[in-house]
Homo-oligomer: A and B are copies of this chain.
């Protein structure tokens, strides 16, 4: 066996870590440490997906009560906005990745300067951090987007609205969508503005504001891809994402009734964006499906997220390799796993906090009713409207699969009681 290393040239880990001496040795010599910044449910589920790989997982969490901090063995409590904290944390890691997109870019550059791989890196991540930068880049790439521009005040919003009117059309062009370029998520930092009067509010925070046309979409889709540093990329099937009140409610994989042509176009678009932006890890491209003037279906890019994403949670039970497992593989520059579905249909429905705190007692009904149900709870405090878990169901009959997921999620939330 002595010649084995020689017969395997170019193996990254072998090059970076000298072969340990014979005798008593330990995997920890060569198995890498993935450092995850942020203790939310995405970190929790990434840890879960990383356990089978035998890697070490280290978490930087704001508090010990965070979703992931409850289940990870190696947890550092600290503030990701503090560079010294990040540097201390990164010292024991082979690579740094993220549960969220809020780590300041200058901190990530400092970590890179220290020699720690940051995946995705700051040059990619900025497109998920700043909607203005994202739109400018997608424009430069010729990627179809909603009509948009940075606006300076309420009057400028009115001007933007009017610019959208067809020649000779009546009205003022409202409503439009306003978004702060940084800090928004799940409908926060987003305003649906119907008039000049309503247009003032978003500017109060002093953050640049992006105006976007209100797209008359057919439905929302998401194209999820994962890309590795060596350039390999995989595309999950395009899914339909149904929002309620600006928050993802239901995801159906694959998107029902989507043509092969449109699905392929969406997947290729997401792969191209991942490549052009230099994404490493998971990229979710949230899309509007629209009807083009000639009646054919089209797509516009709504948002980008560079981390495992709610629209990919179905993959935990519905794909050969989950988005979380592939994110881990990507940040470690390992070959990616197969993203194809294992079932004809998989449905994910989010479980939101309701008025009743005791979700655990609802397990009895849900599990007894549907032995195939997949529950994924995050260990988070229940607050009304907060995402505290999701359920996955799969099968051949979409109506049945949808019914089962919605019943379970509703029962856990407390909106269904029988």
In the bound complex, do residue B356 and residue A4 qualify as a contact, i.e. CB atoms below 8 Å apart? yes
Cβ of A116 under 8 Å from chain B = no
Known: A56-B70, A73-B75, A75-B73. A30 touches B361 (CB 8 A): yes
Of B1, B29, B337, B381, the residue contacting A355 (CB under 8 A) is B1
In the bound complex, do residue A363 and residue B381 qualify as a contact, i.e. CB atoms below 8 Å apart? no
A372–B339 CA distance with the chains assembled, in angstroms: 9
A373 to chain B, nearest CB (A): 8
Q: Which of A51, A365, A367, A380: most chain B CB closer than 10 A?
A: A51
* A10-40 interface with B by 8 A CB criterion: 11-14, 17, 19-20, 24-32
Which residues of the partner chain B approach A371 to less than 8 Å between Cβ atoms?
Answer: 320-321, 335-338
In the complex, per-residue mask of A350-380: 1 if CB is within 8 Å of any chain B CB, else 0: 0000111111110111011001111111111
Cβ of A296 under 8 Å from chain B = no
In the bound complex, do residue B27 and residue A364 qualify as a contact, i.e. CB atoms below 8 Å apart? no
In the bound complex, do residue A27 and residue B363 qualify as a contact, i.e. CB atoms below 8 Å apart? no
Cβ of A308 under 8 Å from chain B = no
* A36-63 interface with B by 8 A CB criterion: 44-45, 47-48, 51-54, 56-57
Of B11, B53, B365, B389, the residue contacting A377 (CB under 8 A) is B53
Cβ of A264 under 8 Å from chain B = no
User: Which residue of B has the minimal Cβ distance to A75?
Assistant: B73
Cβ of A417 under 8 Å from chain B = yes
Q: Tell me the count of chain A residues lying within 8 A, CB to CB, of chain B.
A: 77
In the bound complex, do residue B338 and residue A372 qualify as a contact, i.e. CB atoms below 8 Å apart? yes
A359–B373 CA distance with the chains assembled, in angstroms: 35
A247–B109 CA distance with the chains assembled, in angstroms: 50
Which secondary structure dominates where chain A touches chain B?
Answer: loop
A7–B362 CA distance with the chains assembled, in angstroms: 12
Cβ of A398 under 8 Å from chain B = no
Cβ of A290 under 8 Å from chain B = no
In the bound complex, do residue B32 and residue A360 qualify as a contact, i.e. CB atoms below 8 Å apart? yes
Cβ of A414 under 8 Å from chain B = yes
Cβ of A196 under 8 Å from chain B = no
Which residues of the partner chain B approach A382 to less than 8 Å between Cβ atoms?
Answer: 25-27
Q: Which of A20, A357, A359: most chain B CB closer than 10 A?
A: A357
Cβ of A404 under 8 Å from chain B = no
A379–B337 CA distance with the chains assembled, in angstroms: 21
A377–B31 CA distance with the chains assembled, in angstroms: 11
In the complex, per-residue mask of A206-233: 1 if CB is within 8 Å of any chain B CB, else 0: 0000000000000000000000000000
A11–B32 CA distance with the chains assembled, in angstroms: 44
Cβ of A269 under 8 Å from chain B = no
Known: A4-B417, A72-B73, A73-B69. A334 touches B27 (CB 8 A): no
Which residues of the partner chain B approach A4 to less than 8 Å between Cβ atoms?
Answer: 356, 414, 417
Of B1, B7, B360, B379, the residue contacting A13 (CB under 8 A) is B360
Contact surface of A with B, Cβ cutoff 8 Å: 1, 4-5, 7-8, 11-14, 17, 19-20, 24-32, 44-45, 47-48, 51-54, 56-57, 69-73, 75, 316, 320-321, 329, 334-338, 342, 354-361, 363-365, 367-368, 371-382, 388-389, 414, 417-418
